[in-house]
Amino acid sequence: MRMLQIHSDGFSYEAKRKALKNAEEVKEKSYNTEDSCLVNFIAAETTDAKNVNAAIKATSEMIANAADEVKEKNIIVYPWVHLTESPSKPSVALKLLKGVEKDLKERGFKVVRVPFGWYKAFRLHCKGHPLAERSKVLDISKEIAKTADVDVTEGEDLTALVAEEKSTSEFFIMDPSGKMTPVKEFKYAKHKELELYVNYETAKDRTAQEPPPHIELMRQLELVDYEPGSDAGNFRWPPRGLTLKKAVEERVTAEMVDYGAHVVQTPLIYDYQHPSLKSYLQRFPSRQYVVRSGDKDYFARFSACFGQFLLISQALVTYKQLPLKLFEIAPSYRREQSGELAGMRRPRAFTMPDIHEIVADVEMAKTAVNNQLVFVTKLMNELEVTYEVSFRILRSFFDENKEFVEGVVAKVGKPVMLELFDERYAYFIFKGEWNVVDEQKKAACLGTIQIDVENGERFNITYVDAEGKEQHPLILHTSPSGSIERILYGVLEQAYKDLKTGKVPHLPLWMTPVQVRLVPVNESFIDYCVSLGKSLDKAGIRYEIDDRQQTLGKKIRSAEKLWIPYICVVGEKEKESGKLAVRRRELKDQVVMSEKELVKEINNKTSFAPKQRLLLPKMISLQPIFSREV
RNA sequence: GCCUCGGUGGCUUAGGGGUUAUAGCGUCUGCUUCGUAAGCAGGAUGUCGCGGGUUCGAAUCCCGCCCGGGGCUCCA
């Protein structure tokens, strides 16, 4: 439904002649008032046909709200098909308009409905105040997901939401030996965070007074910040944060290349009308950004699935190439409800490392899960956060593959939460989640492994089997690390937990934007620092030089506030001895070491990560302050 | 999206229907040239989130909007 609302001084119309054969029969062909009124030009759209009653309810609600805002009691309901490019059938439109008329009258408004299906002359006079001209759009697919009195008998409209309500689940803890205990009976004494995680997932205890601590930290460390000039939940990354972001992206990409992935890049926006996408989208409530181009609507992707599925569905794949892996660092968009947004835990725009592994059958899928487990565990450990693991499994799959699940849990090596659900509510039959629990006792999922039994067929993805026949594969959806934003959320919340327990908060050395800061005692040693920096450059170590004219104490403080792990004071002693006075954050000590030793120490600790350059000038005097304190 | 709380120089913040809006940090200038978490002095920086209303007068009260936090919901 699309609607144009004009708050008018006076209104009149005159029905001239029928525009449709089945135009409404009317007694009064004209109407005239000089009273003020709210004129609503309304176009019913094809989507409204899915649930006319919900459309009526929502439309009259919009009109009533608008009328209340401008303190208007007189309502004109005017059929105006030209507002939309996809009008509904006339019968639907008439039903909508009549329903709106009835509903508004019941609400106590004085309503005049202008005849449907006629060519009409009309006159109005817009009042011209700020609320006098407005347009409204109703997306009825959203309402269908919400409203109870919907007929969901047409299979295509069955949403995941509705299916999930029907599905029943049981929750267990499975320990590495395979022993299963209902979550309420498990002894959590040695597994406090698992208890918090289970509480969050089952009891849904979600009260918090304070804002999540990572939000203040991400700004103080100048990693990422809100962008008031964008949509809510879209963030900007100043160079320090971008350095970290790229370091993580490169790290995950390297691991995926080692795993044998084909690295690709696919478009950000997709056609609503594409047949495969259409049926995929209909499984879910609409949470997409819409992009209008020309006269068509596109949606911004909410994961890399579409692009990769479309790419591989048009590729020639043989069984010899399976398992086949496609990987992408996928900037993605989900238009979460405004009240759901929370810093880096839940943004609307995020960067998702996403791998899809195409396998022939369940056996190959199980092998793939075991292989993927290795890198997910490795990457999660590299984040230096504590995490809890859970598996959500279709009960029939679990019953048939109990040994496999036990093997997986044994590999995880600690008790995990197990959810068994009776009815499949999404595309997966098996889903592993690696979650962090934050200071607010809320959980968020980072890494995930899912076995998808639906989309191979939906996207017509095929491979040629040994007999030369085309087969639909199963697909594993996996984010090895979770989104970069969630990772940052995880490491900052972990740092805050450390801070509260008396430990030194830190970012993992391999991803921290600046690994070394050289601090000359006065400006006469800046040149020497520059020459020291040349060998750090060669070693691929990220550093900067505090060339500001400030006291040493202040420069140290400045570096500490940014959690820089190695702070090197450079003065006469260092220049003469060729050694460095190094203040190590992790060990809270001060040691004298040669530059070579320092490089060796850092390289040993970060050997697994690709070298990422620092994405800003090294001289601090040249760096503007984006959001850090000093 | 609904409910709720908030928005005062770049940051943190005082104040609150009535003269030129408070302070600290940062920034700039000068002095200081310093050895491991804040050297000294002086200067500049505010459409008090935006728009409308009430009022002789609004940062302050009212309404709408934007942005953020929390709750509900949601998390493909």
| Residue ending a domain, choose from A146, A181, A213 | A146
Find the CATH number of the domain harbouring A43.
3.50.80.10
Q: Which residue is nearest to nucleotide B1 (CA to C1')?
A: A337
A45 and A122, same domain (yes or no): yes
Q: How is residue A504 annotated by DSSP?
A: P
CATH code, A538: 3.40.50.800
| Tokens 């309420």, residue located | A184
| H or E segment to which residue A325 belongs | strand A324-333
| A335 and A429 co-located in one domain | yes
More confidently predicted of A211 and A505: A505
Answer yes or no: is A507 within a domain: no
- Which pLDDT belongs to residue A484? 97
Question: Please, what is the average pLDDT of chain A?
Answer: 89
Maximum Cα–Cα distance for chain A, whole Å? 105
Please name the residue that has the structure tokens 């969901």. A152
Statement to judge: residues A102 and A187 lie in one domain: no
| Main-chain phi, psi angles of A71, to 5 degrees | 55, 50
The answer to whether position A508 is within a domain reads no
Write the secondary structure of A406-423 as one string of H (helix), E (strand) and C (coil): HHHHHHHCCCEEEEEECC
Task: Report H helices in A562-607.
Answer: 572-577, 595-605
Number of domains in chain A: 3
Structure token pair of residue A268: 């950000």
Q: Would you tell me the crossing angle of helices A484-500 and A239-259 to the nearest 10 degrees? A: 110
Non-local CB neighbours of A161 within 8 Å, separated by 6+ positions: A145, A284, A285
A474 and A521 share a domain? no
Measured CA to C1', what is the nucleotide nearest A452? B76
- Kindly report the bases of strand B lying within 7 A of a protein C-beta atom: 1-3, 10-11, 25-27, 31-39, 51-52, 63-64, 66-76
- Does the pLDDT value for residue A153 go beyond 50? no
Cis peptide before A239 (omega within 30 of 0): no
Cβ contact A118:A16 at 8 Å: yes
Share of chain A above pLDDT 90, in %: 66
Q: How large is the average pLDDT for residues A162-183?
A: 82
- CA A438, CA A449: separation in Å to the nearest integer? 22
pLDDT of residue A2: 82
Whether the pLDDT of residue A307 is over 90: the answer is yes
Q: What is the distance in angstroms measured between the alpha-carbon CA of A624 and the sugar C1' of B28?
A: 14
User: Which residue type does A218 have?
Assistant: M
Give the position of tokens 């817009």: A126
Most confident of A11-15, A92-96, A117-121, A599-603: A599-603
The span from the CA of A600 to the CA of A598, in Å, is 5
* Dist CA A383 CA A320 (whole Å): 35
* Nearest residue for B71, CA–C1': A207
Sign, CA dihedral A360-A361-A364-A369, equals positive
Confidence (pLDDT) at A224: 95
Q: How far is the CA of A212 from the C1' of B71 (A)?
A: 15
DSSP A346: B
Residue A97 lies in a domain: yes
Question: Which CATH number does the domain housing residue A432 bear?
Answer: 3.30.930.10
Please give the protein residue whose CA is closest to the C1' of the nucleotide B11.
A629
pLDDT band at A296 (very low <50, low <70, confident <90, very high): confident
List Cβ neighbours of A391 (8 Å cut-off, separation of 6 or more): A174, A405, A408, A409, A416, A417, A418, A419, A430, A431, A432, A433
C1' (B26) to CA (A552) span, angstroms: 17
Q: Is the dihedral of CA A617, A622, A626, A628 positive or negative?
A: positive
Domain span at residue A608 reads 516-622
User: Quick one: average pLDDT of A467-477?
Assistant: 97
- The reply to whether A239 falls in a domain is yes
Structure token digits, residue A476:
């594993």
pLDDT band at A431 (very low <50, low <70, confident <90, very high): very high
A476 and A600 housed in the same domain: no
Query: Which nucleotide is nearest to A551 if distance is taken from CA to C1'?
Result: B34
Residue at minimum CA to C1' distance from nucleotide B27: A625
Higher-scoring residue by pLDDT: A285, A623: A623
For residue A459, what are its two tokens?
A: 């996207």
Dihedral angle computed from the Cα positions of residues A574, A578, A583 and A589, in that order, rounded to the nearest 10 degrees: -110
Q: What are phi and psi of A128, to 5 degrees?
A: 85, 5
pLDDT of residue A94: 86
Tokens of A145: 């997901």
A371-427 pLDDT, tens per residue? 999 999 999 999 999 999 999 999 999 999 999 999 999 999 999 999 999 988 889
What's phi and psi for A21, nearest 5 deg?
-60, -45
Residue A284 predicted with pLDDT over 70: no
Q: What is the predicted pLDDT for the residue at A151?
A: 29
Distances (CA, A) of A216 to A454, A511, A519, A585, A629: 42, 19, 26, 21, 12
Q: Is the pLDDT of residue A8 over 80?
A: yes
Q: Per-residue pLDDT tens for A61-115? A: 888 888 887 888 899 999 888 777 677 777 888 888 998 998 899 888 899 999 8
Q: How far is the CA of A207 from the C1' of B6 (A)?
A: 18
Residues 6+ apart with CB under 8 A from A544: A514, A516, A517, A518, A614, A616, A618, A619, A620, A623
Q: Is A279 a member of any domain?
A: no
When mean pLDDT is compared across A31-35, A129-133, A277-281, A540-544, the lowest value belongs to: A129-133
Tell whether A88 and A135 lie within a shared domain. yes
Question: At A480, is the pLDDT very low, low, confident or very high (cuts 50, 70, 90)?
Answer: very high
In this prediction, residue A156 has a pLDDT band, given cuts at 50, 70 and 90, of: very low
**Lowest-confidence region among A1-10, A179-188, A525-534, A541-550:** A1-10
State how far the Cα of A420 lies from the Cα of A170, in Å rounded to an integer: 5
Most confident range (mean pLDDT) of A45-59, A290-304, A590-604 is: A590-604
Could you tell me if A342 and A409 lie in one domain?
yes
- How confident is the model at residue A152, as a pLDDT? 29
Same domain, A349 and A237: yes
Q: Predicted confidence band at A471 (pLDDT cuts at 50, 70, 90)?
A: very high
CA A555 → C1' B39, Å? 13
| Residue A579 scores a pLDDT above 50 | yes
Q: How far is the CA of A513 from the C1' of B29 (A)?
A: 32
Same-domain check for residues A188 and A324: yes
How many residues are present in chain A?
630
Answer yes or no: is pLDDT of A157 > 50.
Answer: no
Check pLDDT > 80 for residue A50: no
Is position A510 within any domain?
no
Q: Among A89, A114, A146, identify where a domain stops.
A: A146
Predicted confidence at residue A125, as pLDDT, reads 83
Evaluate whether residue A501 is within a structural domain: no
pLDDT at residue A141 is higher than 60: no
Is residue A194 a contact partner of residue A415, using CB atoms and an 8 Å limit? yes
Average confidence (pLDDT) over A21-37: 81
Structure tokens at A554: 């202040």
Do residue A424 and residue A465 come from a single domain?
yes
**pLDDT for the residue numbered A133:** 75
Mark whether A452 and A376 lie in a shared domain.
yes
Quick one: average pLDDT of A274-281?
Answer: 81
Q: Do A445 and A578 lie in a common domain?
A: no
Q: What is the ipTM of this complex?
A: 0.94
Residue A251 lies in a domain: yes
Task: Assign A285 a pLDDT band (cuts: 50, 70, 90).
Answer: low
Mean pLDDT, residues A221-229 taken together: 92
